[in-house]
Amino acid sequence: TVLIRDTNVSRNHLDIRYDMDKRMYMVTDLGSKNGTMLNGIQMSGSQVVSPPMEVLHGSTIQLGETKLLCHIHAGNDTCGHCEPGLIMETQEKEKAAYTRTCDVKKQYDLELARLKNKYRPEPLMIEEGTYNDRAKARR
């Protein structure tokens, strides 16, 4: 059992099994409400159990907002994407892409200050000789 914390993933959403006769992995949508995509193709309609479909190396399975990239290799063989160093590097790049460099409050304050500077009114310059101060004359 794999738990995916996604609001669009049903409690019993998908079944992944290894078929010993065909010697390949098979995936079945268990009648999920939001459906499952295999390589960008909807496996079945909403709340309809799909027929078993084969999963090949490089297949993508999408459940809600969660995407699973499948790497299937014979024995101990790996591809270039499965090497530990490459996986760690890719994860770090993805993490950096999705995390914010600063918290939301600080980002809000910086953007507010930028907008205030951009749209603030220009100071009104009054020439000394042209202004007639009538209140000063009454004092």
Query: Is the CB of residue 14 less than 8 Å from the CB of residue 61?
Result: yes
Which residues span the domain enclosing 21? 14-76
Residue 12 has pLDDT above 60, yes or no: yes
Percent of the chain with pLDDT over 90: 20
Shared-domain flag, residues 62 and 96: no
Condensed to tens digits (0 to 9), the pLDDT of residues 50-82 reads 999 999 988 999 988 888 988 888 777 777 777
CA distance 114 to 62: 40
Q: Put residue 107 in one of left, alpha, beta given phi > 0 → left and psi -120 to 50 → alpha.
A: alpha
With a cut of 60, say whether residue 101 has pLDDT above it. no
**137 three-state secondary structure:** helix
- Specify the number of domains making up the chain: 2
Q: Is residue 100 part of a domain?
A: yes
Which amino acid type is present at position 31?
G
Provide the sign of the torsion angle of the four alpha carbons 57, 6, 97, 115, taken in this order.
Answer: positive
Tell me, yes or no, whether 103 lies in a domain.
Answer: yes
**CA-wise closest residue to 14 among 79, 78, 59, 76:** 59
Residues 6+ apart with CB under 8 A from 14: 27, 28, 29, 30, 32, 36, 61, 63
Residue 8 lies in a domain: no
Same domain for 67 and 87? no
User: Greater confidence, 21 or 90?
Assistant: 21
Residue 89 pLDDT:
63
- The answer to whether residues 51 and 103 belong to one domain is no
The mean pLDDT of the chain is 82
> Does residue 36 sit within a domain?
yes
User: In terms of pLDDT, which residue wins out, 84 or 31?
Assistant: 31
Domain assignment present for residue 60? The answer is yes
C-alpha distances (whole Å) from 82 to each of 54, 71, 90, 93, 130 are: 21, 8, 10, 16, 78
Q: How confident is the model at residue 83 (pLDDT cuts 50, 70, 90)?
A: low
One domain, residues 23 and 65: yes
**Cα–Cα distance between 2 and 134 in angstroms, integer?**
82
CATH number reported for the structural domain that contains residue 25 in this entry: 2.60.200.20
In a domain, 41, yes or no: yes
Q: How confident is the model at residue 15 (pLDDT cuts 50, 70, 90)?
A: very high
